[in-house]
Amino acid sequence: MFNFSGKSVIITGGSKGVGFGISEAFLAAGADVFICGRSEPETLPQANGKQAVFYSVDVRQPEASQTLIDEVVKQTGRLDVLINNAGGSPPVPAADASPRLTESIIRLNLIAPMILAQQAYHAMRERGGSIINIASISGERPSPGTAAYGAAKAGLINATRSLAQEWGADKVRVNAIIAGMIKTEASHDHYGGEAGIRLIEESLPMKRMAVPEDIAHACLFLADAHAGYISGAALEVYGGGEPPSFLKLAEEAFQLGQ
């Protein structure tokens, strides 16, 4: 369905979880895929007889991310797609978060993607390109326990729309994906094991969490030439969203009153 043969794609955090799934999808579509992380993975994404190329890069360091982009352009002569996927946050009450932790979370989830996008823009501006920021539902609703993360993702959604307007004339499109809960290898620790996952999925409209392939397919769509007039969008990939908790509580209260 999608053909990215001859295209160069950078995916930050592409060695695990959602990033791994995105990397496999672009490899399957024929792209030359370059991924980065702080430590080299035991297994690299592979598909369609191709394998991702790994660079050890801390995306929070602008000099390191610029070197990554320069190396990809040197190897392939071009950069067509950047997917800012690296991110995350440990759970911590806002009252207990140290200034250093708060700054680190915002640097990873907002400042690094913005700087990478700027660096990619300069590599793309001659022929155009696509930048996709992986945001989160946490950027659209309260994010208790991860307040700095939610604030950073909200900022990333806003930055996506601003950059799309600034860079539209150069045919550099900038979009975001607002991801909901995703089932990855880390889900058991994050969502309370199989029992927790079952309870959460039962509460969702589609009765399942997203899987990395769901996010990957959305990335392929946004990066494809057929989406050439889509820029500044924040595509919600969360299966209908999270139902308000008061509805479940009200239902349970009603049943107790019968």
User: Which residues are part of the catalytic machinery?
Assistant: 149
Rounded to an integer, what distance in angstroms lies between the CA atom of residue 228 and that of residue 231? 8
How far the first Cα of the chain sits from its last, in Å, is 53
Pick from 173, 161, 176, 157: which is nearest to 225 by CA?
173
Handedness of CA 148, 150, 152, 155 (dihedral sign): negative
Provide the 3-class DSSP secondary structure of residue 256: helix
Q: For residue 140, what are the contacts with CB-CB under 8 A and spacing of at least 6?
A: 154, 157, 178
Task: Please answer whether residues 52 and 40 qualify as being in contact, where contact means their C-beta atoms are separated by less than 8 angstroms.
Answer: no
Place of tokens 């959604």: 157
The encoded tokens of residue 257 equal 């009153």
